[in-house]
Amino acid sequence: MLVLEAKLKGKIEQYSLIDEAIRTALFCRNKALRYWMDHHGTDKYALNKHMPSLAKEFEFANKLNSQARQASAERAWSGISKFLDNCKKKVSGKKGFPKFKKRGHSVEYKITGWKLSGDRKYLTLTDGFKIGRLKLIGSRDLNFYQIEQIKRIRLVRRADGYYAQFCVDVERREEVKPTQTTIGLDVGLNHFYTDSKGQVVENPRYLRKSESQLKKLQRQVSKRKKGSANRRKAIKRLAKKHLQVSRQRKDFAVKTARCVVRSNDLIAYEDLQIRSMVKNHKLAKSISDASWSMFRQWVEYFGKVFGKVTIAVLPHYTSQNCSSCGKQVVKTLSQRTHCCGHCGTVLDRDHNAALNILAKGLNRVGHTQIHACGEFDLCQVDVSLLGKLSR
């Protein structure tokens, strides 16, 4: 599934109607959750069947397209299914019981309730809200795809305007020449990552760099009177700054992941439990600012696009064990140099961890041994796996 995004240009009245549709979709989602809580044993299809009765009971809910109401019920079921899966797996701690939401930011249509113009530059919404015709502004050309390939359209409200996301049913594949190289990645806070070749990528720290501006904008919000127009303007400026930081993170993660995947045939990285790591309040902000989870998601995505092998390995003892002899060398977090008293290897701590991560990854695809410098011997790996395995 490919998601293409374009900004929507319309009148203020149309934006108000989009907001009303978003609120209605959120109402349907919360009602579906309440129905599940009140009726034991309710499944996904029962929630979809509940939506027509909701439209009969509430006139404003009837304005929303019927399939958009179903999409809202599916959103509720998405949170419910995650909770049920965690209960079955007996996940420790909180199971993620679904909660009611106060604010919504999007409404989703399926194959009805909308239509595109002949030149694919205008989107018309045809449900009961009568939003009308909106102009699409963006660099992606929808003429490359058939209307039947567009399975869903999502209207999204952000701090800087309204956007339309087109979910296109197409499989993205790109052919690249094999590089016959492998790499292990050790992510960190001092550097964004250190690879098994000893190269490092600096951590951009976008949130830290914008922290003073965010604090200033937050003070401006606090000084304004609640409910005033000036307070709403200050809130919008603050939201735009947060949106800029999030976009910077995403842009960095996408470009870095694409470069890593294109340059190597096999990428090994740590299977970190980020949700547990951010419970450390001294490091939570720095870990979130590094956006390791987003980077991993894009590495796995580009691995499927380019047909490369991406392997997540357990991070246990990757920093403590020696990459040359395998002996354990206990180190504290403040010790940044790996000095092995058994074989005399002296390496940067993160470089040593990256070599151990690569060794674990290669062992999972049939590799029998690895050189200390991280060089790749193609004869020792089942080459057919390079085009088939991807996680």
Identify the pLDDT of residue 368. 36
Lowest mean pLDDT among 113-117, 131-135, 303-307, 330-334: 330-334
State yes or no: is 160 an active-site residue: no
State yes or no: is 350 an active-site residue: yes
* 360-382: average pLDDT: 52
Q: Catalytic pick from 127, 289, 300, 350?
A: 350
Identify the pLDDT of residue 212. 96
* 306-312: average pLDDT: 93
Give the DSSP per-residue string, 153-196: EEEEEETTEEEEEEEE-------------EEEEEE-SSEEEEET
* 112-139: average pLDDT: 94
Query: Over 50: is that where the pLDDT of 305 sits?
Result: yes
Q: Catalytic pick from 127, 195, 265, 270?
A: 270
Query: Over 80: is that where the pLDDT of 117 sits?
Result: yes
Query: Over 80: is that where the pLDDT of 208 sits?
Result: yes
Comparison of pLDDT for 386 and 269, the residue scoring more: 269
Helix axis angle, 12-38 to 66-89, nearest 10°: 40
State yes or no: is 375 an active-site residue: no
Q: How much of the chain exceeds pLDDT 70, in percent?
A: 93
* 274-302: average pLDDT: 91
Identify the pLDDT of residue 32. 95
The band of 366, judged by pLDDT with boundaries at 50, 70 and 90, is low
Using the 8-state DSSP alphabet, how is residue 321 labeled? Answer: B
Compute the distance between CA of residue 18 and CA of residue 29 in angstroms, rounded to an integer: 17
* 98-119: average pLDDT: 94
Lowest mean pLDDT among 30-44, 207-221, 290-304, 323-337: 323-337
Identify the pLDDT of residue 365. 74
* 363-384: average pLDDT: 45
Compute the distance between CA of residue 246 and CA of residue 207 in angstroms, rounded to an integer: 9
Identify the pLDDT of residue 102. 93
Q: Catalytic pick from 108, 186, 265, 300?
A: 186
Helix axis angle, 229-263 to 211-223, nearest 10°: 160
The band of 303, judged by pLDDT with boundaries at 50, 70 and 90, is very high
Report residue 344 as tokens.
């005399």
What are the pLDDT digits (tens) for 155-187? 999 999 999 999 999 988 888 899 889 999 999
Compute the distance between CA of residue 31 and CA of residue 244 in angstroms, rounded to an integer: 33
What are the pLDDT digits (tens) for 53-96? 999 999 999 999 999 999 999 999 999 999 999 999 888 888 89
| Torsions phi, psi for 167 (to 5 deg) | -90, 105
Question: Using CB atoms within 10 A of its CB, is residue 82 exposed (0-12), middle (13-18) or buried (19+)?
Answer: middle
Query: Over 50: is that where the pLDDT of 377 sits?
Result: no
Nearest to 203 by CA among 288, 279, 316, 111: 288
Long-range contacts of 32-36 (CB under 8 A, 24+ apart): 32/72, 32/73, 32/76, 32/77, 33/76, 33/79, 33/80, 33/98, 33/100, 34/100, 36/76, 36/77, 36/80
Q: How far is CA 126 from CA 214, 237, 279, 280, in A?
A: 40, 33, 46, 49
Mean pLDDT of the chain, nearest integer: 89
Identify the pLDDT of residue 373. 37
Identify the pLDDT of residue 363. 87
